[in-house]
């Protein structure tokens, strides 16, 4: 019985190999081929957390998403999240859509007046419309491309974004689709997630480029869009907007107006290449300049569990200073929420809500020249006119109360809708973009981010969007 084996083995190389061996060889090659293919595939797949992406060249920042991950865990994460997640498991049911439509006959609420800036922001394309060439050209300045077709979201990633900006911004688009199922039109738009506007009106006067970002200036074509922190900023423990606003408003009641410190307060990070914030540090003198200026060290705050950085515990002063950072700052909305008088040092950058601010009604403007003296003058005026000062603080808080997440979604809805009306082409899924859905984002999120994503999830609206002022 054993004989044939013994005889064959020394001679086997002269033999034609048996079919079993060929099959084995074939599978070995196949496995090797697959390993190389998968490796190649994994190293080409760009993700919402920045895998296989470089930081934007126009704003370089330290970024190495794969440092903490082994090659194997990175590959398995990409395969699992990008290719094996099933989208649409928790999609809106038809019943929900129906109940939503039942309210369509109610006259919709009027949007806040400053929403009229949506049309002004899109005016550069009123004559030319937005062509595929505009979008293709804007891609050179974009970190990612957002395409909505038939209520589905596709995202093409070009460059990595700081921290989890891309994740929470894309999440915002997903929640918009969830809030208004069947209503969001097909669009194809370019988004940059870094701070400073880049589409200079002079340099691009020949061909204005439509590029979405978090802020703009009168000298730029960039289109302002609500920033990621409306869905929360998990790295520094800032809650999604509605919750954070409730916390701040409650915190602002810890002291009655009369008992709040009659000086101005600022706490923030001056180390963001902002000469203004550096200058502000010189005004830290409650007696001479009526101002208390504190450094916020986010590394230190994180180590202490964010106990001393709570925004809701920073409403104990009658005046709150807003100073721009590297560009606009997400802190504006939190400062306006305190019920204190916002002292806004002249702004160069506008985010979408800045347009709702009215000097001497819901804030006091502070000229940047002779900064400390300007702050002192505003505080002295307020202390001499306490009821007027109190009313300005209240108006600022009321303005932020009116800008609930519902209204933020309405702003996004109208901006995207007005933009889509200008498109001269029918958006289609880009061949390089994957569908991005709830399951995809949650799969890439770490545990803390997942908590924030769940907290900021939207539900279908029972009412239509507010109506845009003419």
The residues binding ligand NAG (CB under 6 A) are 90, 128-129, 200, 202-203, 219, 438-439, 442
Count of alpha carbons within 13 angstroms of residue 132, beta-carbon side: 5
Nearest in space to 407 (alpha carbons), one of 242, 247, 243, 240: 242
Q: How far apart are CA 317 and CA 261, in angstroms?
A: 5
Identify which of residues 200 and 404 has a Cβ nearer to ligand NAG in the complex: 200
We find the least distance from the C-beta atom of residue 151 to ligand NAG, in angstroms, to be: 17
Identify which of residues 45 and 420 has a Cβ nearer to ligand NAG in the complex: 420
Identify which of residues 128 and 360 has a Cβ nearer to ligand NAG in the complex: 128
Q: What b-and-e string marks burial along 210-230, b requiring 16 or more CB atoms within 10 Å of the CB?
A: bbbbbbbbeebbbbbbbbbbb
What's CA 206's distance to the chain center, in Å?
30
Q: Tell me the sheet residues that pair with 187.
A: 148
Strands 341-345 and 317-322: parallel
Main-chain phi, psi angles of 202, to 5 degrees = -70, -50
Crossing angle for the helix pair 241-252 and 386-402, nearest 10 degrees? 160
Identify which of residues 155 and 441 has a Cβ nearer to ligand NAG in the complex: 441
**Ramachandran region of residue 360, left (φ > 0), alpha (ψ -120 to 50) or beta?**
left
Identify which of residues 135 and 264 has a Cβ nearer to ligand NAG in the complex: 135
We find the least distance from the C-beta atom of residue 470 to ligand NAG, in angstroms, to be: 18
Identify which of residues 129 and 402 has a Cβ nearer to ligand NAG in the complex: 129
We find the least distance from the C-beta atom of residue 178 to ligand NAG, in angstroms, to be: 10
Identify which of residues 101 and 128 has a Cβ nearer to ligand NAG in the complex: 128
Quickly count: other Cβ atoms within 10 Å of residue 334's Cβ: 23
Q: How far is CA 196 from CA 58, 71, 141, 220, in A?
A: 10, 34, 12, 10
Identify which of residues 247 and 449 has a Cβ nearer to ligand NAG in the complex: 449
We find the least distance from the C-beta atom of residue 357 to ligand NAG, in angstroms, to be: 21
We find the least distance from the C-beta atom of residue 451 to ligand NAG, in angstroms, to be: 12
Q: How far is CA 445 from CA 279, 322, 442, 451, 461, in A?
A: 38, 32, 5, 9, 26
Q: How far apart are CA 249 and CA 401, in angstroms?
A: 9
Main-chain phi, psi angles of 144, to 5 degrees = -155, 165
We find the least distance from the C-beta atom of residue 414 to ligand NAG, in angstroms, to be: 18
Spatial neighbors of 162 by CB under 8 A, at least 6 apart, are: 61, 63, 193, 194
Identify which of residues 202 and 470 has a Cβ nearer to ligand NAG in the complex: 202
Identify which of residues 124 and 382 has a Cβ nearer to ligand NAG in the complex: 124
We find the least distance from the C-beta atom of residue 347 to ligand NAG, in angstroms, to be: 14
Task: With residue 135 as reference, give the H or E element that holds it.
Answer: helix 132-138
Identify which of residues 137 and 439 has a Cβ nearer to ligand NAG in the complex: 439
Concatenating the DSSP letter of every residue in 62-85 gives ---TTTTS-HHHHHHHHIIIIISP
**Under a CB-based contact definition with an 8 Å cutoff, are residues 195 and 326 in contact?**
yes
């Amino acid at each position: 019985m054993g004989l044939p084996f013994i005889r064959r083995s020394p001679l086997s190389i002269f033999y034609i190999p048996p079919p079993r061996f060929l099959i084995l060889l074939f599978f070995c090659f196949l496995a090797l081929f697959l390993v190389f293919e998968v490796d190649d595939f994994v190293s080409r797949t760009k993700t919402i957390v920045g895998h296989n992406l470089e930081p934007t060249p126009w704003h370089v920042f330290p970024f190495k998403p794969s440092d903490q991950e082994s090659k194997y865990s990175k590959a398995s994460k990409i395969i699992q999240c990008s290719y094996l997640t099933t989208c649409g498991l928790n999609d809106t049911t038809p019943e929900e859509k129906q109940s939503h439509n039942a309210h369509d006959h109610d006259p919709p609420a009027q949007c806040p007046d400053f929403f009229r800036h949506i049309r002004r922001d899109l005016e550069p394309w009123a004559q030319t419309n937005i062509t595929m060439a505009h979008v293709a050209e804007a891609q050179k300045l974009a970190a990612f491309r957002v395409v909505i077709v038939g209520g589905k979201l596709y995202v093409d990633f070009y460059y990595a974004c700081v921290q989890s900006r891309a994740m929470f911004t894309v999440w915002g688009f997903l929640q918009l689709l969830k809030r208004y199922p069947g209503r969001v039109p097909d669009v194809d738009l370019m988004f940059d997630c870094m701070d400073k506007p880049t589409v200079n009106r002079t340099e691009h006067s020949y061909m204005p480029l439509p590029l979405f970002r978090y802020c703009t200036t009168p000298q730029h074509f960039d289109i302002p869009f609500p920033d990621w922190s409306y869905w929360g900023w998990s790295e520094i423990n800032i809650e999604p907007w509605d919750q954070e606003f409730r916390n701040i408003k409650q915190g602002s009641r810890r002291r009655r107006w009369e008992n709040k410190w009659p000086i101005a307060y600022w706490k923030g990070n001056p180390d963001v290449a902002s000469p203004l914030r550096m200058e502000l540090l010189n005004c830290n003198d409650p007696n001479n300049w009526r101002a208390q200026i504190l450094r916020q060290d986010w590394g230190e705050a994180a180590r202490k569990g964010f106990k001393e950085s709570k925004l809701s515990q920073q409403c104990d002063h009658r005046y709150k200073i807003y100073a721009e950072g590297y560009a606009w700052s997400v802190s504006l909305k939190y400062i306006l929420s305190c019920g204190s008088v916002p002292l806004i040092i002249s702004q160069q950058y506008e985010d979408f809500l800045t347009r709702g601010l009215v000097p001497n009604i819901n804030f006091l403007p502070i000229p940047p020249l002779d900064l400390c003296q300007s702050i002192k003058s505003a505080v002295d005026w307020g202390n001499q006119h306490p009821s007027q000062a109190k009313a300005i603080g209240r108006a600022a808080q009321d303005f932020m109360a009116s800008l609930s997440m519902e209204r933020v979604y309405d702003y996004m809805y109208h901006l995207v809708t007005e933009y889509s009306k200008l498109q001269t082409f029918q958006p289609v899924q880009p061949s390089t973009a994957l569908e991005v859905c709830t399951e995809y984002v949650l799969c890439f999120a770490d545990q803390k981010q997942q908590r924030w994503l769940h907290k900021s999830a939207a539900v279908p609206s029972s009412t239509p969007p507010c109506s845009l002022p003419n």
